[in-house]
Amino acid sequence: MRLATLVTAVATAAAACLSAACSAPDAAEDSVVTRAYETGTLTIGIRFDQPGLSERTIDGRFVGFDVDVAEFVADELGVAADDITWRETTPAQRESDLSSGAVDLVVAAYSITEERKETVSFAGPYFVTGQDLLVRASATEIDGPEALSGKRLCSVTGSTSAAQVKERFARTLELVEYPRNSDCVTALLAGQVDAVTTDAAILAGFAAQNPELLRLVGEPFSTERYGVGLRKGDTDGQAAVAAAIERMIESGRWRESLERNLGPSGYPLPEPPEVTER
């Protein structure tokens, strides 16, 4: 339990703690920091169907870069991996899951936007990617979003990807929305849609699972900054999580996780981002 790091992030230097036997951190009563300290548990919202980022395996394990980030942050808050309750949260549910208390944190390829910051507090970013397209390997004519005129494009309901498409390209294509990216990929493989759009890091994982059938176009057309979502106004939690992300980057665990989880897909691994939301 690394309470010294936690207290430094959320309290004054005088309140810093140097052992597991110290007093509770100086954080608001309703902060995730306090809940983690008092209960020793956290409920964290992730996706269950994003290879490389967060995926539930056949034997019930949770693996991926987002999972590693969530476990590192939880450990910094004093919660062991075995004491995390994982809850699936979709893009359409993330804000309501946080505000209702169904989850304590969301680590689910959750892009930081000004609109979302009206109802959610973010710490991060811990990763930066861009929106791209996944198509069938045989669809060589699709080399970017401008080539989708008259075609059917699939995206996830409630995602920034769907919003981007509606704003920039909806006049020239038919947008199909499903709750999960895996639903879109299934529709793509079945020939029901012509392309899937979401963040390139997510699409790379699906392409790696079906290398002979699917390909990533490789022409990103947005910037997506992934943050850890917290309940609105939890400034103590925001500071503690931001400090945890920075510690993960500085320790080398961030790069190690990226190489293990996203490296096999061929996705070009970025440099660590500057943590600005704190």
Span 81-106, pLDDT tens digits = 999 999 999 888 999 999 999 999 99
Whether residue 271 lies inside any domain: the answer is no
Contacts of 109 (CB under 8 A, 6+ apart): 47, 50, 53, 54, 66, 199, 201, 202, 224, 226
Length of the chain: 278
Where do we find the tokens 């979003």? 145
| Both tokens assigned to 84 | 């995390």
pLDDT in tens, 226-259: 999 999 999 999 999 999 999 999 999 999 999 9
What is the extent of the structural domain holding 7?
3-129+224-265
pLDDT band (50, 70, 90) for residue 164: confident
Whether residue 117 lies inside any domain: the answer is yes
> What integer is the mean pLDDT of 159-179?
80
Q: Can you list the alpha helix ranges (DSSP code H) found in 196-264?
A: 200-209, 235-251, 253-261
Answer yes or no: do 7 and 121 share one domain: yes
Answer yes or no: do 118 and 203 share one domain: no
Answer yes or no: do 47 and 57 share one domain: yes
Whether residue 253 lies inside any domain: the answer is yes
Contact predicate 120/66, CB 8 Å: no
Whether residue 270 lies inside any domain: the answer is no
Answer yes or no: do 116 and 243 share one domain: yes
pLDDT at position 154 = 94
pLDDT at position 18 = 32
Answer yes or no: do 200 and 254 share one domain: no
> What is the enclosing helix (H) or strand (E) of 110?
none
| Both tokens assigned to 173 | 């294509």
Answer yes or no: do 238 and 191 share one domain: no
Contact predicate 241/123, CB 8 Å: yes
Residue 190's CATH number: 3.40.190.10
Q: Burial level of 153, CB count in 10 A (0-12/13-18/19+)? A: buried
For Cα atoms 129, 161, 226, give the angle at the middle one, nearest 5 degrees.
35
Secondary structure E strands in the chain: 42-46, 49-50, 54-56, 62-63, 84-88, 105-106, 120-129, 131-136, 152-156, 174-178, 195-199, 214-216, 224-231
Answer yes or no: do 163 and 206 share one domain: yes
- pLDDT above 70: percentage of residues in the chain: 91
Taking Cα atoms as reference points, which of 30, 32, 61 lies closest to residue 46? 61
Answer yes or no: do 85 and 23 share one domain: yes
Q: Is the pLDDT of residue 5 over 60?
A: no
Whether residue 273 lies inside any domain: the answer is no
Contacts of 269 (CB under 8 A, 6+ apart): 255, 258, 259, 262, 263
Whether residue 275 lies inside any domain: the answer is no
The total number of structural domains in the chain stands at 2
Answer yes or no: do 28 and 150 share one domain: no
pLDDT band (50, 70, 90) for residue 24: low
Answer yes or no: do 82 and 47 share one domain: yes
Q: 189-193, 217-221, 227-231: which range is least confident on average?
A: 217-221
Whether residue 276 lies inside any domain: the answer is no
SS3 132: strand
- pLDDT above 90: percentage of residues in the chain: 71
Answer yes or no: do 135 and 125 share one domain: no
Whether residue 70 lies inside any domain: the answer is yes
> What integer is the mean pLDDT of 206-219?
91
Answer yes or no: do 228 and 161 share one domain: no
